[in-house]
Amino acid sequence: MEKSPSPVRAPAGLSGRLARVLKSEKALTLTVVAGLLGMILILLSSAFPALSSENPSGSEASSPSDETARYKEELTEELGNMISSMAGVGRTKVMVTLEGSVSSVYATDVDVNGRETSRKNGADENADKQNTEKRSCIVLRGKDGSETALAIGSRLPSVKGVLVVCDGADDPSVRDRVKGAVSAALGIGESKVCVSRLAS
């Protein structure tokens, strides 16, 4: 007596439904096509790295003059808000003058070589010491062979002077408080701050 094979039971739950779907020929074809499309997209993205990594944020890189203008605008706005909120100042306009522009700071490698020589002249001993220091920028090489210096930050320009024009500038105590506040906020001397009366 031959025993008939017992029917194969699909596992219950999600994996069971997945097994039934994958058994159909259509689903298998769709899975293979999706896998092939995925591999083609991966190959294309590695074949054209400049398109995918040139500008990941989607915005143009800002130039140092753009960064300097943005820094000056932010500084002027913050100072204007601070000064106009002081008692007795009233309406306020601020102008900030900067020296230089925003510049990048690059990572450097320092190689220090020291040399020491000594000579004996009878009982006298003279020692000459010479240290040389060699600095070089750390450079990153891209997959395409391009070289870029490793930027680790940026240096902001220094404030050359500040002009504050406000309603309360006729009052010497207001003028002194404004000069003191700007001096303290920017870390510059009061001689670099000019406070004048705003025209009516």
| CATH number of the domain encompassing residue 179 | 3.30.300.30
Which pLDDT score is estimated for 53?
45
Same domain, 161 and 95: yes
Same domain, 129 and 164: no
pLDDT at 31 over 80: no
CA 5 to the chain's CA centroid: 69
- For 87-129, what is each residue's pLDDT tens digit? 999 999 999 999 988 877 877 776 666 555 444 555 445 455 5
Return the number of other C-beta atoms located less than 10 Å from residue 192's C-beta: 15
Average pLDDT (127-142) is: 70
Same domain, 160 and 97: yes
Q: Which domain holds residue 34?
A: 14-53
Same domain, 84 and 162: yes
Model-level pTM?
A: 0.52
d(CA 32, CA 157): 58
Residue 69 counted as domain residue = yes
Same domain, 128 and 43: no
- Compare 67 and 3 and report the one with higher pLDDT: 67
Instruction: Please name the residues in contact with 40: beta carbons below 8 A apart, sequence gap of 6 or more.
Output: none
When divided into structural domains, the chain yields a total of 3
Same domain, 32 and 69: no
Residue 7 counted as domain residue = no
Nearest residue to 194 via CA among 162, 167, 169: 162
pLDDT at 12 over 80: no
Return the structure tokens found at 191. Answer: 């001689």
d(CA 91, CA 84): 6
Average pLDDT (61-66) is: 71
